[in-house]
Amino acid sequence: MTLLLIDSASLWYRAYYGMPDTLVSPSGEPINAVKGFLDMTSRLINVYKPSRMALCLDGDWRPSWRVELYPDYKMNRVDEEDGEEEEPDLLTPQIPLILDFFEAAGIPLIGIDDYEADDVIATMAKREPGPTRIVTGDRDLFQLVDDKRDVHVAYLAKGISNHDLVDHEWIAQRYNIPGDRYDLFAMIRGDASDGLPGIRGIGEKGAAEIARSFESMDDVISAAQNADPKLSEKLRKKILANIEYAQIAERLVRCASDIRLPDFDLKIPTKPEKAKYLTQMKEDYGLGASVERLFDALKWR
Report the DSSP pairing between strands 109-110 and 132-136.
unpaired
Co-location of 117 and 80 in the same domain:
yes
Model pLDDT, residue 301: 72
Same domain? For 153 and 55 the reply is yes
Which CATH number fits the domain that encloses residue 151? 3.40.50.1010
Segments in the chain forming alpha helices (H): 8-18, 32-48, 64-69, 95-105, 117-127, 168-175, 182-189, 204-213, 217-225, 233-241, 243-253, 275-285, 288-297
The pLDDT, as a whole number, for residue 231 is 96
160 and 152 Cβ atoms separated by less than 8 Å: no
Pair 139, 227 in one domain: no
At CA 163, angle to CA 160 and CA 166, rounded to 5?
Answer: 140
Range of the domain at 146: 3-176+260-297
Q: Specify whether 118 is located in the same domain as 247.
A: no
Pair (162, 106) in one structural domain: yes
Do 64 and 211 lie in one domain? The reply is no
DSSP 8-state secondary structure symbol assigned to residue 134: E
Q: Which CATH number does the domain housing residue 240 bear?
A: 1.10.150.20
Do 161 and 60 fall within a single domain? yes
164-166 and 151-155 beta bridge pairing = antiparallel
Together in a domain, 55 and 190: no
| Domain match, 89 and 15 both | yes
CB atoms inside a 10 Å sphere around CB 205: 10
Q: Are residues 156 and 187 in the same domain?
A: no
Instruction: Please tell me the predicted confidence (pLDDT) of residue 62.
Output: 95
Q: How many domains does the chain have?
A: 2
What is the Cα–Cα distance from 253 to 273, expressed in whole angstroms?
A: 37
The last residue of one of the domains, among 253, 273, 288, is 253
pLDDT value at position 55?
98
Task: State the pLDDT at residue 80.
Answer: 62
User: What pLDDT is attached to residue 84?
Assistant: 66
Cα 262 to Cα 68, 110, 117, 218: the distances in Å are 26, 9, 15, 33
Q: Which helix (H) or strand (E) holds 52?
A: strand 52-56
The answer to whether residues 144 and 43 belong to one domain is yes
**Average pLDDT by consecutive 10-residue portion of the chain (301 residues)?**
97 95 94 97 97 97 96 84 72 96 97 98 95 96 98 94 96 98 97 93 97 97 96 96 97 96 94 94 96 95 72
Say whether both 214 and 187 belong to one domain. yes
